Amino acid sequence: MRLRYMKTDGTQMEFEIGEKPITIGRSPDADVVILDEKASRIHCGIRLWDGDFYIKDLKSRNGTYVNGERVELAKLKAGDRIQVGSMAFSFDQNGTAGADVALQEVEKQMADGKGYGTILREIVHNMDGGIEAATSGEVEKPIRVTTRKKSNQAE
């Protein structure tokens, strides 16, 4: 995921968000530093927890807003608009969106009863170029696909 925002000079900025928690604020110690007097030094934080991203207001004076609503803690999703002071951010997916969709489709097919070997043969068959040899035999080892349980509660 990534945060997009425009600096006061008009420069478009992007900040990639991964497994490491990030902070947003006026302090030089924040991961995303914004020059806005309405923002607290360490205004809010974003972290990945149990497969989802959450934003937490860190006792800021002016609050943290997601899609226009003041929040203490909120689960983020692609397309959300975040406001810190007078600075607006968009929370967007990066290049992994296609991989996420593909994994969800495989999980759905497996839940519908389709086996690993069948799914793999279909994937290989649908790919273009130079991999025909991969479809010539059965899959020797089963592939283990695990999913994480999602919780409705955050730290």
Question: What residues form DSSP beta bridges with 14?
Answer: 4
**Mapping DSSP to helix (H, G, I), strand (E, B) and coil, where does residue 123 land?**
helix
- Asked if 43 and 85 touch (Cβ cutoff 8 Å), the reply is yes
All structural domains of the chain, each given as residue ranges with its CATH number in brackets, are 2-92 (2.60.200.20), 97-135 (no CATH)
Residue pLDDT, tens place only, 24-73: 999 999 999 998 999 999 999 999 998 999 999 999 999 999 999 999 99
Residue pLDDT, tens place only, 14-35: 989 999 999 999 999 999 999 8
